[in-house]
């Protein structure tokens, strides 16, 4: 899918940005998802951020099958 450059710039979307699609009565809404590594500092006391990200990506991959 190609998102026009004016929207990519306006909403700070770059290659690899995770997005979610939400269906509404007015149509499809595309929303950027927060980057889990941005909250790594607040999660660091519970687990290693790299391990959390690895587990999250594995879970997502399994749920899409």
Q: Name every residue whose Cβ is closer than 8 Å to that of residue 46 and which is 6 or more positions away in sequence.
A: 52
Alpha carbon 35 to its chain's center: 6
Domain shared by 55 and 28, yes or no: no
Tell me the pLDDT tens digit for each residue of 14-27.
888 888 899 999 99
Domain shared by 42 and 61, yes or no: yes
Domain shared by 14 and 40, yes or no: no
Name the 3-class secondary structure at 3: coil
Q: How many domains does the chain have?
A: 2
Domain housing 12: 1-33
Domain shared by 38 and 27, yes or no: no
Domain shared by 5 and 15, yes or no: yes
Tell me the pLDDT tens digit for each residue of 27-51.
999 988 877 666 656 656 667 777 8
- pTM score of the predicted model: 0.46
Domain shared by 44 and 65, yes or no: yes
């Amino acid at each position: 899918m190609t998102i026009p450059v004016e929207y990519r710039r306006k909403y700070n979307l770059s290659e690899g940005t995770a997005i979610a699609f939400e269906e509404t009565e007015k149509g499809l809404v595309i929303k950027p998802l927060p980057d889990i590594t941005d909250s790594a500092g607040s999660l660091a006391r519970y687990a290693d951020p790299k391990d959390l990200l690895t587990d999250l990506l594995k879970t997502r991959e399994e749920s899409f099958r």
